[in-house]
């Protein structure tokens, strides 16, 4: 990780690198690709929507000119449907902050296998959140992804509940963190 160079991209810049981002997605999720929700095409569809959202930002980590990993997120739209697949009642404080445009959602955090277990994910995560003005962060994690789940809890995230964000997606744990 000694030579990791961080680069920030806005939505337009990220959209211009969509194929490289999808390459990393396929490599990072190689053992989980299902041809439906977890597929290159589905990722690219979601990315097309995400890059247009207010407050979209991506932090890329490059090592020797190779994209080692990246993280991106956006501000949850006050009148959007982010919490629509939430199981149970969304706490009033979370709804209030969402309505004020003060919740930042990390949508993807991935690191290529060759760079894992070297602190790259934490570095990307911290760099993205360090620049945010929102009050609350949220991230979804597959409960079966023990390394990611363990990392998020170690980094101060707390479970809010369970959510199924798309009809074809698995049920994720919804985590929150004060920013």
Per-residue confidence at 88, pLDDT binned at 50, 70, 90?
very high
pTM summary value: 0.93
Domain boundaries, the chain: 4-178
Instruction: Name residue 99's beta-bridge partners.
Output: none
**pLDDT for 110-125, tens place per residue?**
999 999 999 999 999 9
Say yes or no to pLDDT of 28 above 70: yes
Give, in words, the CATH class of 4-178. Answer: alpha beta
Identify whether the C-beta of residue 84 lies closer than 8 Å to the C-beta of residue 152.
no
pLDDT > 90 in the chain, percent: 87
- Confidence check: pLDDT of 25 > 70: yes
Which single residue is written with the structure tokens 């149970």? 88
Mean pLDDT, the chain, as a whole number?
A: 94
């Amino acid at each position: 990780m000694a030579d990791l160079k961080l680069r920030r991209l806005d939505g337009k810049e990220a959209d211009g690198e969509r194929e490289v981002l999808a390459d990393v997605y396929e490599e990072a999720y190689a053992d989980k690709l299902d041809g439906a929700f977890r597929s290159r095409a589905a990722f690219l569809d979601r990315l097309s929507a995400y890059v247009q959202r207010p407050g979209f930002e991506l932090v890329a980590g490059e090592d020797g000119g190779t994209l080692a990993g990246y993280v991106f997120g956006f501000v949850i739209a006050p009148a959007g449907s982010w919490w629509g697949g939430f199981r149970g009642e969304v706490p009033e404080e979370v709804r209030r902050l969402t309505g004020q445009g003060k919740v930042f959602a990390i949508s993807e955090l991935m690191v290529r296998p060759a760079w894992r277990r070297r602190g790259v994910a934490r570095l990307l995560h911290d760099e993205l959140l360090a620049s945010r003005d929102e009050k609350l962060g949220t991230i979804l994690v597959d409960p079966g992804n023990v390394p990611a789940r363990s990392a998020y809890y170690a980094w101060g995230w707390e479970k809010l509940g369970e959510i199924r964000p798309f009809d074809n997606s698995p049920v994720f744990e919804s985590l929150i963190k004060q920013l």
